Amino acid sequence: MNLIKIINGTIITGGESLIGNVVLKDRVIDYLGTEDISADGAQIIDAKGLYVAPGFIDMHTHGAGGADFMDGTVDAYLTAARMHAVHGTTLLYPTTLTSTNEALFASFETYRKAEEMNTDGARFGGMHLEGPYFSPMYAGAQDPRYLRNPRPEEYLEILDRCPALARWSFAPELEGAEEFAAELKKRGIVASIGHTNATFQECDAAYKSGADLMTHFYSCMSTVSRRNAFRYAGTIEYGYIQDGMHLEIIADGIHVPQDLLHLLLKIKGVERIALVTDSMRAAGMPEGPSILGPLSDGQEVIVEDGVAKLMDKSAFAGSVATADRLVRTMVQIAGCSITDAVRMITENPARIMGISDRKGSLKAGMDADLVIFDENINVRNTIIEGKIVYRYE
């Protein structure tokens, strides 16, 4: 039996914090509270007053540590998973870029193999497909050659061939999108609105078909527009007004600047916001030249000022954030409490992804996924399913 006892922690649980101890037995939390219960033979971790939080859950990442999930190798998956774990992530959803279906099917296979071999990195919660059913007007870094409308003969095959699919981002204004969202909902896959020129009404139709999440809110989506003189509300306005809609934000402090973070917190509130890295391969690496997308035919980009940019610096080309930085941004730039910031990357994504019975909060019986960090969100320990995978020396 594997026994770990964390003592003197400032434990973040249920939106509050308490000074106490946590005992982990094998893969689950056995005890959490203020009592000093005995745990004979346990490995002791003295948190020395530091924060003990649920492990971070990243619902949207393309890679880290020099590796992109589209590289198509098991090694790339494992490298990215390890780097994210160093920064406190215990569960992530490998995200594909819009590409050919052959590349997509190959990545399902790679995912499956990597999942079996992943012993010391952030675990994989399932795949997130970002595209190819997107608006060409809001393609962002997605390759416009592959954008198209959802057709059942195509997406049913993809769904059938990828049992690990957990989430799919799409543009709701495309022909066939409502049926597509309903199919995802039926299969228990999270349908997420993104890279879209949708009107408010088109978002409403998608929401009613089961799409209750928005992909990197503010990036690559419509807002108020004028069409033939008449003014229409867009995706952003719908995201704000629909209480049941969850908003995912790239909280690196750059993609969504301070004023908009304040607006989001004021209008939407902590409960409906999830923090994601949406990181490309350069996350956790020194700044300088990098490649966006697969190594084989990706795009040259430059990482500087804490973000990836196109070579001509006219646009961002992906985030290089890790989860600890997201929490730090919400505390130090957006002015959140640490408990609220943590909630947005633990409890909220767990609820959105339908896994809150096992992950996203600390209490007895939950998976032993924990992160220990200081007041500047420097990660000291990452524990995944009861195993210490990272320890700061």
Return residues touching Zn ion (CB under 5 A). 130, 278
Do residues 378 and 324 make contact, with C-beta atoms less than 8 angstroms apart? yes
Cβ-Cβ contacts under 8 Å for 384 (sequence gap 6 or more): 55, 85, 90, 122, 123, 368, 369
Do residues 9 and 18 make contact, with C-beta atoms less than 8 angstroms apart? no
Question: What does each C-alpha distance from 267 to 243, 274, 347 come to in angstroms?
Answer: 10, 14, 20
CA 323 to chain centre: 9
Do residues 277 and 62 make contact, with C-beta atoms less than 8 angstroms apart? no
Point out the catalytic residue in the list 278, 324, 340, 369: 278
Packing angle of the helix pair 101-117, 74-86 (nearest 10 deg): 60
Nearest distance from C-beta of residue 62 to Zn ion, angstroms: 6
Nearer to Zn ion by Cβ, of 192 and 381: the residue is 192
One-letter amino acid at 292 equals L
Nearer to Zn ion by Cβ, of 70 and 74: the residue is 70
Cα(264)–Cα(246) distance, integer angstroms: 11
* Number of C-beta neighbours around residue 33 at 10 A: 15
| Residue closest to Zn ion, measured at CB | 278
Cα(152)–Cα(302) distance, integer angstroms: 38
To the query of whether residue 367 is one of the catalytic residues in this protein, the response is no
Nearest distance from C-beta of residue 60 to Zn ion, angstroms: 5
Question: What does each C-alpha distance from 281 to 62, 154, 278 come to in angstroms?
Answer: 7, 29, 10
Nearer to Zn ion by Cβ, of 276 and 362: the residue is 276
Nearest distance from C-beta of residue 194 to Zn ion, angstroms: 8
Nearer to Zn ion by Cβ, of 39 and 280: the residue is 280
Cβ-Cβ contacts under 8 Å for 287 (sequence gap 6 or more): 303, 304, 306, 320
Helix (H, G, I), strand (E, B) or coil at 191: strand
Nearest distance from C-beta of residue 291 to Zn ion, angstroms: 15
Cα(203)–Cα(226) distance, integer angstroms: 17
Nearest distance from C-beta of residue 319 to Zn ion, angstroms: 8
Nearest distance from C-beta of residue 271 to Zn ion, angstroms: 23
* Number of C-beta neighbours around residue 255 at 10 A: 19
Nearer to Zn ion by Cβ, of 69 and 207: the residue is 69
Nearer to Zn ion by Cβ, of 32 and 213: the residue is 213
Nearest distance from C-beta of residue 30 to Zn ion, angstroms: 37
The dihedral through the CA atoms of 178, 180, 185, 189 has a sign that is negative
List active site positions: 278
